[in-house]
Every structure is written in structure tokens, then in C-alpha cells.
Amino acid sequence: MTRLFVALFVFASYGFALEAQHVRVSVLDRGQADGIVIRTPNHRWVVIDGGTNRQQADLMEQWGVDTVHLAVISHRHFDHNGGMDDVLRRFTIREFVGRLDECPTVNQDNVIADIISDSGITAYAPNNQTFDVDGVTFTILPTDPVDDACPDDENNNSVIVRMDYGDFSMLFPGDADEDERDWLTEQHAGLLDVDVLKAAHHGATKSVGRTPSTNRVFTMKRTTEEKRQCKRTSIST
């Protein structure tokens, strides 16, 4: 089966004596689902969401992945966590971030919680943490302290991840909609000013907006220098 994905290569140089190094961000074509696989300069791996089935884990095996240093589930909808059970079972997971509160209407969440418990994976609830993976920084954005652990609107319960490498930054907002955007704008606007945005909620209007006023939260800077640092390519394997 042919699988398509978009890869974003982020380059950073460290003087004349060292070769340029890069981070590869692969946003997989999962249809109406999310799956993101990030490779650091020394081939360490970070996963954000897992799509709906085993295809993402299959592709990761083809790429030679054996250990995932950080796995994140943005929220408890099947189009984001449905394939994460295969990722958690088939690879060594160093650290996991996601919401694991007991919610009676979320069966897949119970499967994932059981795997994490049985495998002894170090797991964290989202709480404004920072993880360093091979010189690449992943920041788990703060969450609204008054949010219900099992809200009716799971999209606005998304775990949002910011990645920084050198002077480059990228935001992975899950399915965050207006309510979460507004709270973050009021409380932590500086964390949202990034170079590249992975569109929230599959590009839905409520998430990314149609006008500058409604899209003021998730911004993308475009300068000549940053264009030299980044290259977008479409790849098929």
C-alpha cells in the first residue's frame, strides 16, 4: 500500500566544524485522522497521536523505529488515539503524556491506560511540562485549571504541544477549538507565537478561523531567514 505524508525538515547549523543537523516532522496522511511522527537529529522519535488503526505503527516499523522517547495523545477521540494502542504495544516507550482520567464513555482510553500500566510506561498528565529529546524541546502547554477531566467537548480538552529546535518553533494544537484558544490567548499568548502551525481540528473553521481576528491565537511567522531554515517536501513510500 502506498502511504503519503508531508515531511517538514528543520535545519540548524552549529559552526564550521559540525555538519548541519535537522529534525524531520512527518504529518501522516491518515484521512480524517491525526498522526505525527518526529525524528530528531540523532534519530530519536516522538509521536503525537496515532490515527485510527495499526497503519501508523506499521509505517514506523518500516522506518526502523524501535524506541519512542515521547508519546503524546492530544485528546480522547478515536481519530487521534485509535491507533495509539499499537504504538504503545509494539515499541519501547520512554515517556507518555495524555489524559488518563477514568471516563465512562471513552473505551479506547481504558485500553491505552491498561497498556501503560501493564508495560510500566512512565506517564504524565499534561501540566505545563518541558521534555528535552536530543536537543529538541517539547513543551506541553498549560491547561485550563477549571476544565472537567471528562468534558462534554473533548476537543477543547486538547493537549497542545510546542516544539522548539534552535530558532525554529512549531505548534501541534490537536483539535483545540474557540474556548481553548481564547483561554490560552488570555493566559499564555507568548507560547502560541510560532513559525509553523499544524492546523487545529483538521483545519475546521472553529479552530483556525477565517479572519485575522478569529485566527489571532495560532499564528505563523514567515521571514526570509526562516524560509531558509525550513523546507517542505511531499514524499511517498
User: How is the chain split into domains, by residue range?
Assistant: 4-236
Question: Is pLDDT at 216 greater than 90 in this prediction?
Answer: no
Q: How far, in Å, CA of 209 to CA of 183, rounded?
A: 16
Half-sphere exposure of 218 (CA within 13 A, CB side): 28
Taking the CA atoms of the chain, what radius of gyration do you get in angstroms? 17
- Give the ranges where 31-122 is alpha helix by DSSP (H): 55-62, 78-81, 84-90, 107-119
4-236 maps to which CATH number? Answer: 3.60.15.10
Question: Is pLDDT at 231 greater than 50 in this prediction?
Answer: no
Which three cell numbers mark 93?
A: 516507550
The string over 185-223, giving b where at least 16 C-beta atoms fall within 10 Å of a residue's C-beta and e elsewhere, is eeeeeebbebbbbbebbeeeebbbbeeeeebebbeeeee
Lowest mean pLDDT among 58-67, 144-153, 227-236: 227-236
**Which is higher by pLDDT, 164 or 228?**
164
Q: How far, in Å, CA of 190 to CA of 187, rounded?
A: 9
The mean pLDDT of the chain is 76
Q: What is the pLDDT of residues 70-112, one digit of tens each?
A: 999 987 877 778 889 999 999 999 999 998 887 776 666 788 9
Q: What is the pLDDT of residues 5-30, one digit of tens each?
A: 445 555 443 333 344 578 999 988 76
pLDDT score for 217: 46
Q: What is the pLDDT of residues 112-160, one digit of tens each?
A: 999 999 999 999 999 899 999 999 999 999 888 766 767 777 767 788 9
Angle at 73 between CA 69 and CA 79, to 5 degrees: 130
Which three cell numbers mark 191?
A: 507560547
**Which is higher by pLDDT, 12 or 44?**
44
- Give the pTM: 0.78
* Burial group, residue 128, by CB count within 10 angstroms (0-12, 13-18, 19+): exposed
Which three cell numbers mark 40?
A: 530528531
